[in-house]
Amino acid sequence: MPELPEVETSRRGIEPHILNKKIKSVVIRQHQLRWPIPGQLPDRINNLKLTRLSRRGKYLLLGFGNNETVILHLGMSGSLRICTAATPAGKHDHIDFVFSNKKILRLNDPRKFGCVLLTDEPVESHKLLAKLGPEPLSEDFTADYLYAQSRKRRCAIKSFIMNSHVVVGVGNIYASEALFLAGINPNRKAGTLSKTRCFKLVEAIRHILDAAIKQGGTTLRDFSRENGQPGYFAQRLQVYGRAQQACNICGHAIKQISQLNRSTFYCTTCQK
């Protein structure tokens, strides 16, 4: 599943091709994604210039003149590429944004859990975005914030940091990895974390996501490859997917458990 680093890497990869270019046409081949693509979308953004390409959580925001914003989510299996009309659309290529420089931003999504929506309201108050917590790499995500939010919370710290109302973009793999880096047991109740440990966890989350974005930038150099999809990258992982293998710090076996139906991996010695 595309996580925050993949979405940010996609954003950086496609931006140079289409920023400040005008929409020439929009081709919708499949209207029914997670929600229907609005039928008036092509008319409303036609001839408008893409003036802003930003990200909020795992949503890509294509901002056009005239206050129109396309909200795009990659769902479970979506990916974006830059191509031209010379590349025939495949079975799962659901929508093309054709720009004035003849480049096409093409969404491929085999499982159709992604979305393409349109709003002319301030996008941060859109119902999909309004209740999202801070960006993990922003200055708003601090130890003080995490400490305050977690007081009296009895849920496991791993579930807590994966809650997008608390902080966005900490997916299942990154949550396990960040908790390992911070030395925190994923089962620990969120409300029992000291401020010092909140600081360590904030730093760990930032570090893990930042490293993934940096690696994505080197792995996914070319978003306009003519063949195949941009392959998402496999990070070097310390605990995730390493059940029964030796912990890289202490050598004890990594343990796998299930939390809210998601796999969690951790070291019972290093994480308290």
Binding site for Zn ion (CB under 5 A): 247, 249-250, 267, 269-270
Nearer to Zn ion, 195 or 272 (CB): 272
Nearer to Zn ion, 234 or 249 (CB): 249
User: Is 230 a residue of the active site?
Assistant: no
List 49, 112, 206, 262, catalytic entry? 262
Residues in the chain, total: 272
With 0-12 CB in 10 A as exposed, 13-18 as middle and 19+ as buried, what is 184? buried
List 58, 158, 197, 200, catalytic entry? 58
User: Is 58 a residue of the active site?
Assistant: yes
- Supply the minimum distance, in Å, between the C-beta of residue 254 and Zn ion: 8
- Supply the minimum distance, in Å, between the C-beta of residue 176 and Zn ion: 13
> Cα(180)–Cα(189) distance, rounded to whole angstroms?
16
Nearer to Zn ion, 243 or 250 (CB): 250
- Supply the minimum distance, in Å, between the C-beta of residue 265 and Zn ion: 11
List 3, 6, 8, 177, catalytic entry? 3
- Supply the minimum distance, in Å, between the C-beta of residue 161 and Zn ion: 20
- Supply the minimum distance, in Å, between the C-beta of residue 187 and Zn ion: 15
User: Which amino acid is located at 184 in the chain?
Assistant: I
Nearer to Zn ion, 160 or 265 (CB): 265
Nearer to Zn ion, 157 or 247 (CB): 247
User: Is 22 a residue of the active site?
Assistant: no
Contacts of residue 54, defined as CB under 8 A and 6 or more positions apart, other chains included, come to 11, 60, 61, 63
List C-alpha distances in Å: 252 to 82, 93, 188, 212, 265.
Answer: 45, 46, 20, 26, 13
Catalytically active residues, by annotation: 2-3, 58, 262
